[in-house]
């Protein structure tokens, strides 16, 4: 099976069922299949096998059409984060050496202020109202594609690269991940096997579609269910979309969960008929999770994954969350258990197995693991060992097979020879009622090597001070883990999926007195 087969199957089995909902516009499976096919023919006319089609734009139906249509032509869909600054955005596009660039009119117009968009790709396609010099309107491209020439390749294989996605770049050095049809469908089926799904599900996707979390769109299309795409996330907008479209399932990042909890507590808004919230992307504090479960009236389930895993690979279900709230609080801090076809090990620096309960690097072997980093032999050599992918995350597995994430390997703070988990410190500090968000990094120190530094976002309307945070840390956190420095900030730097960019916080501290 290939990605586009999912839409063709839906068009055959339930042609008039909604497949994609954006605002008040609905595309049935039959209509989506028509547009995917037209896009595929149009791409095949101007791009060869393995050529890149770069896509830069905010959420809209065209993104999802490209998910399926570009690989259907034998080309590779190259994701570009539209939230990047002008320089990084142009660099990201140029890196792909695309045969085609597809973008929102606004995005292309912005790029054109620096130089002609025709310099970025031989063919440029504009989505939306308005015109950009050197760009062809998207709907014109689809109209031409409906002529059906040239023929689409009939020898595509599951191992062919479908998507190219740059890693989130939380370390400041993003790599480009190659995901094949087989990788993505394996991730979809692993998630499907680990999470209950229902015949009346309606799924809401609030993340940027330029993120690997978009595999969830494919997941619900895999089972023939409608997907609602949010143009952008707001708490008010999400509540309204849940009500209007009878949404049963939603994926959220912890920052979104926090905003929704505050909104519901302030307004008494209801999330009915929502029944399942899947969260991930970055760690969530047990205190926030407890508030959210009580506030939403829905079951919670967690997924641990990354771009290199084509999505989620480890899952913690709603029943385990309920047990965690009842009398097993350690479950709320766990990531879960491997999905079907997924193997997980804890290894040392040399790649050897560590005993049960020991802390080490998480390694994964599964059909959904990326086929490799694009044009990065050094990264591949460092990350793949004997068929296992080294994730860069640090964790432990208990005797029951439950995986817990301790930290990102690069985020471990070494202070006075002791390893400090930044995540554990963040979880404790997040229990303070006046703290809205917190990120912990190591501040350079001549004596101790690093000192624990907490960047704290106070909740609106509070008069939180750095001294109060330090005092709270002394009461709740072990001696060597206690923050020695607190920086109060208005916000934390994040990428499009909500992950805190800790390399930016460390850069602020580099060379600064501690």
Q: What gap in Å lies between CA 137 and CA 130, rounded to an integer?
A: 9
Q: What pLDDT shows up at residue 343?
A: 98
User: Residue 62: enclosing H or E segment and its boundaries?
Assistant: helix 61-72
Q: Which two tokens stand for residue 443?
A: 């501040």
Task: Please choose, from the candidates 207, 212, 162, 204, the residue with its C-alpha nearest in 3D space to the C-alpha of residue 182.
Answer: 162
Task: Please choose, from the candidates 262, 398, 265, the residue with its C-alpha nearest in 3D space to the C-alpha of residue 328.
Answer: 398
Q: What gap in Å lies between CA 68 and CA 1, rounded to an integer?
A: 12
Strand 403-408 relative to strand 388-397, pairing: antiparallel
Q: What gap in Å lies between CA 223 and CA 201, rounded to an integer?
A: 10
Task: Please choose, from the candidates 228, 220, 261, the residue with its C-alpha nearest in 3D space to the C-alpha of residue 244.
Answer: 228
Share of residues in the chain with pLDDT > 90 (%): 78
- Give the model confidence (pLDDT) of 132-153 as tens digits: 999 999 999 999 999 988 899 9
Q: What gap in Å lies between CA 473 and CA 4, rounded to an integer?
A: 52
- Give the model confidence (pLDDT) of 39-95 as tens digits: 999 999 999 999 999 999 999 999 999 999 999 999 999 999 998 888 888 999 999
Decide if 226 contacts 220 (C-beta within 8 A).
yes
- Give the model confidence (pLDDT) of 367-380 as tens digits: 999 999 999 999 99
φ and ψ of 313, to 5 deg: -130, -20
Q: Is the pLDDT of residue 480 over 90?
A: no
Q: What pLDDT shows up at residue 281?
A: 62
Q: How much is the pTM?
A: 0.86
Q: What is the mean pLDDT of residues 403-408?
A: 89
**Domains in the chain, start-ordered, CATH in brackets?**
3-17+26-156 (3.40.50.12780), 182-408 (3.40.50.12780), 412-509 (3.30.300.30)
Strand 76-80 relative to strand 100-104, pairing: unpaired
- Give the model confidence (pLDDT) of 222-280 as tens digits: 999 999 999 999 999 999 999 999 999 999 988 899 899 999 999 999 999 999 999 98
- Degrees, nearest 5: CA angle 508-509-513: 135
Share of residues in the chain with pLDDT > 70 (%): 97
Q: What is the mean pLDDT of the chain?
A: 93
Task: Please choose, from the candidates 375, 347, 342, 376, the residue with its C-alpha nearest in 3D space to the C-alpha of residue 361.
Answer: 347
């Amino acid at each position: 099976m290939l990605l586009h087969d999912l839409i063709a199957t839906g068009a055959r089995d339930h042609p008039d069922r909604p497949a994609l909902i954006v605002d008040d516009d609905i595309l049935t499976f039959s209509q989506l299949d028509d547009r995917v096919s037209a896009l595929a023919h149009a791409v095949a006319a101007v791009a060869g096998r393995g050529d890149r089609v770069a896509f830069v734009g905010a959420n809209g139906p065209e993104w999802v059409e490209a998910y399926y249509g570009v690989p259907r032509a034998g080309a590779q869909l190259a994701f570009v984060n539209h939230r990047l600054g002008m320089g990084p955005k142009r660099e990201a596009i140029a890196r792909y050496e695309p045969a085609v660039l597809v973008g929102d009119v606004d995005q292309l117009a912005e790029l054109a202020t620096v130089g002609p968009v025709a310099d970025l790709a031989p063919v440029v396609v504009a989505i939306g109202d308005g015109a950009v010099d050197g760009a062809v309107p998207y709907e014109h491209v689809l109209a031409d594609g409906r002529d059906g020439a040239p023929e689409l390749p009939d020898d595509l294989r599951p191992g062919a690269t479908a998507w190219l996605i740059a890693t989130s770049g939380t370390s400041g050095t993003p790599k480009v991940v190659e995901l094949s049809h087989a990788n993505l469908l394996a991730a979809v089926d692993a998630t499907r096997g680990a999470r209950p799904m229902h015949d009346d599900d309606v799924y809401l996707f609030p993340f940027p579609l330029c993120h690997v979390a978009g595999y969830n769109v494919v997941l619900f299309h895999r089972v023939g269910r409608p997907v609602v795409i949010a143009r952008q996330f707001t708490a008010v907008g999400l509540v309204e979309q849940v009500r209007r479209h009878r949404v049963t399932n939603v994926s959220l990042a912890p920052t979104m969960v926090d905003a929704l909890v505050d909104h519901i507590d302030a307004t008494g808004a209801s999330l009915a008929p929502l029944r399942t919230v899947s969260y991930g992307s970055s760690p969530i504090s047990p205190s926030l999770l407890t508030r959210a479960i009580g506030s939403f009236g829905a079951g919670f389930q967690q997924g641990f994954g990354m771009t290199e895993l084509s999505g989620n690979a480890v899952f913690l279900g709603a029943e385990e969350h309920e047990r965690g709230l009842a009398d097993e609080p350690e479950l709320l801090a766990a990531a879960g258990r491997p999905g079907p076809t997924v193997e997980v090990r804890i290894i040392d620096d040399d790649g050897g197995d560590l005993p049960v309960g020991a802390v080490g690097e998480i390694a994964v072997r599964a059909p959904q693991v990326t086929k490799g980093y694009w044009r990065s032999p050094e990264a591949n050599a460092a990350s793949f060992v004997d068929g296992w992918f080294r994730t860069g995350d640090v964790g432990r597995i208990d005797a029951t097979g439950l995986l817990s994430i301790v930290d990102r390997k690069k985020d471990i703070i070494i202070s006075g020879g002791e390893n400090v988990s930044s995540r554990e410190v963040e979880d404790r500090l997040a229990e303070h009622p006046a703290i809205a968000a917190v990120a912990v990094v190591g501040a350079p120190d001549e004596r101790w090597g690093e000192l624990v530094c907490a960047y704290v976002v106070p909740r609106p309307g509070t008069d939180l001070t750095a001294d109060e945070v330090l005092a709270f840390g002394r009461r709740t956190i072990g001696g060597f883990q206690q923050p020695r420095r607190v920086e109060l900030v208005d916000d934390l730097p994040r990428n499009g999926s909500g992950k805190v960019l800790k390399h930016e916080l460390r850069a602020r501290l580099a060379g600064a007195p501690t």
